[in-house]
Each structure stands twice: as structure tokens, then as C-alpha cells.
Amino acid sequence: MSTESVRKKILIVHSHYLKRGGEDLVFEMETELLSKSHDVEVLTFNNKSGLKGGVQFLYSIWNISASNKIKKAVEKFNPDVVHIHNWHFSIGPIIFRTCKRNGVPTIHTLHNYRLACPSAILMYNDKIYLSSLNTNFPWNAILKKVYRNSFLLTFWLAFIIWFHKKIGTWAAVNSYIALTPFAKKIISDSSIGISANQIFVKPNFIKKETIQKKEIRDEHFLFVGRLSDEKGIHVLLNSFKESDYKLKIAGYGPCEELVNRFSQTNSNVDFVGSLEPHQVMDEMKKCQALIFPSIWYEGMPMTIIEAFSEGTSVIASNLGAMSIMIEDGKNGLLFKPGDSSSLRKQLKKWNDLSIHDKTEMRNQSFLSFDKKYSESLQPILFNNIFEKIIK
């Protein structure tokens, strides 16, 4: 892996979702990082709601307007490579074809599993859903309305992805970035037709170089994230119901009312609502451990990386990215996905650890961050990708 950095011209493209999320954060941090050693230009789009959003989604199969904007940006900046984060749905897959026509190699970060299944998160009815991975066309997913609980929207998204598979769009992308080896295998083994050789594994990161140690922590555990079914909210609440363990919950989402009611009837649970990024990091320093009960194949949870950066261990579902990031008994604990009793056992296991053992596990958590998810590692990983695709 090369450590030399030859200055490149990089056009970074991203479509912002209606609500800011992890993909937006990664886009911003990588843009800032690459700007330090390369010439970077940014082209962003915004997903709309209502009628305008519907029109965007309809035209995303072949968005001429977006294609023209990309073409102009390429002609003006003359980049060595175009790095695309999210294309869904205000841009559309046409971006890859436009770049290829203009002789510019492309990189696409796979923040989710949308190319393999229209659900994007491989879930249906609060359970892992893998039926679409090896089908020519995901009729079962369409019938189940896995995207926004809509037959028409699921069909249209599935058709867009299938159509571009048939005309060779996905195979024409020079390189994909998967966040974990697990995600790489899911995509390369699926019927989308992307070779494993096209996929590089590069984890997410956050900016932090030193740990600010807090010798004495509060008694409570912490959950930070979207309050939704796929994040394991029901598992979380059931685990702390009528429990002596204390929990602080921070976040917002469709299960917010449920969480608020639960906190009012369970004095051991404190719901603090949505927090600013600096407030989240402060909470990470105070808690016993972060609870991450997600029941879907997460891409690479930024929350876990943030916890590690503060020397905070994580108690997580033994599933997908979490099973790779968490070394059970070393930098955290793993429990059976969707199983409240299994989570309760791990809460007791953590509580029974000596102060020395907790301190050692927290030290290992920070070492995990330092060795795998720190900013200093990213230039080497990016340069390796650039060398492979830029001729």
C-alpha cells in the first residue's frame, strides 16, 4: 500500500437526504480530509419532498438535468477522478455514464445495500431480509413494499437499478468502496454483477487524535441514534424495563413518542431528545458504555467510532458491521440480535467487571479507534485506490 501522495484533482458528488444523516457527515469529513492534500471541487444536489421529490424520483432513471450539471462540472474542473457518495434520488445512476463518456474514472462509496435490494437496509418487518440478493428482478421485495411501504416506489427503484444493470452502468464504475469486508461480500455475492475486484474496503473515520480520560464515569449506559425499529429500540426498552440499570437515550425518529412514554413510566430511563454533536461526545465520556442494539446490517456506524474515540466500550448486536468492529470481551460485548434477555445478560456481565477490567476494555476501545478509524490512516487508503484507477 503506497504512502506517497501525488496531488490529484477530485470532484466529489453527493445528494443530500431530506434529513441529515451519517452519509452526509462522511461526505463532509472526507471532503475536508482530501482537500488537505488534493485539489477538490464539490457538486451537491438536494432531495426534495412532496411533488418535487416525486418528479426527482421519477426522472432519476435518466436525469438529463443532473447529467448536464455533472458534464459542465467535469469540463470546467477537468478532474482526475469523480467520487460519488449518494446518487439516490436527485442525481440518478446517469452520473456514472456521464463521467465515463467524458473519460473520467469514478469511485462510488456504498453507504448501504441499495444496489443489492431496494430496501437499502436488507430488512422487512423488523427482520433481516435477503431474498432480493440473488434474484434477477426483486419481485418479492416489490410485493412486500420494502421501500417506504409502497408497491409503486419499490417497483420504480428496483426497475432503475435493474435497468442500469442491464445496460452495464454498475459494471462500468471503476471502483466501489465498501465500509467493511462483510458489506463487500454481500454486494459481490449478489446478482448486481459487481466483481469483488472492483470493491475496496475503507472504513469510516472521525477527527480525533487524543483521548481525554475521565477517571470517574456516571452509572448510566447510553443509546445515541435514530429512534426507529431497525435500530433495535424495542430491544433496548425491553432490556431496561423494570431494571436497576440506568439508561440515557438521545435521538429522534418515528419511535420518539414510544421512548418518551417509556421514560415517564420507568424512572431508570432518561430521554434527552436530540443532541448537538459536541453534546453527544460529552455524553460518550460520561457513560458506562454505549448500547448499540441495531437489528439490521449496518454499513459502519459512526456512533460506534465516536464511542471508541472517547475510550468508551460498546455493547452491540452480534450482527453485520458490529460483529467486525466489536471484539467480544476486548473492546466491548456482543449479544444475540433482537434478544432483550441476551442484552440484559451482557449488561450484568459489564456491571460485574472490576474497575480494572472496565478500564482495560476502555483502553482497548480507544486503541481500536486509533488503529482502524483515525483520520491519519485515511490518506494512505485513498491513495491506494487512486493509484489503481487513475491512469
Closest by Cα among 318, 297, 316 to 305:
316
Looking at the predicted structure, is the pLDDT value of residue 23 above 50? Answer: yes
Mean pLDDT score across all residues of the chain = 95
- Residues 265, 281, 215: CA angle, nearest 5 degrees: 90
C-alpha distance across the termini of the chain, in Å = 17
Q: What is the pLDDT of residue 215?
A: 63
pLDDT digits (tens, 9 = 90+) for 366-387: 999 999 999 999 999 999 999 9
Looking at the predicted structure, is the pLDDT value of residue 354 above 60? Answer: yes
- pLDDT bucket at 22, cuts 50 / 70 / 90: confident
How far is C-alpha 78 from the geometric centre of its chain's CA atoms? 30
pLDDT digits (tens, 9 = 90+) for 43-98: 999 999 999 999 999 999 999 999 999 999 999 999 999 999 999 999 999 999 99
Q: What count of other Cβ atoms lies within 10 Å of the Cβ of residue 44?
A: 16
Looking at the predicted structure, is the pLDDT value of residue 4 above 60? Answer: no
Query: Where do the structural domains in the chain lie, given as residue ranges?
Result: 9-205+375-389, 221-373
CATH 3.40.50.2000 for the 221-373 domain, yes or no: yes
CATH architecture, range 9-205+375-389: 3-Layer(aba) Sandwich (3.40)
pLDDT digits (tens, 9 = 90+) for 103-161: 999 999 999 999 999 999 999 999 999 999 999 999 999 999 999 999 999 999 999 99
Q: Do domains 9-205+375-389 and 221-373 have the same CATH topology?
A: yes
Looking at the predicted structure, is the pLDDT value of residue 213 above 70? Answer: no
Report how far residue 324's alpha carbon sits from residue 166's, in angstroms, rounded to the nearest whole number.
33
pTM summary value: 0.93
Q: What is the pLDDT of residue 105?
A: 98
Question: Omega before 89 cis (within 30°)?
Answer: yes
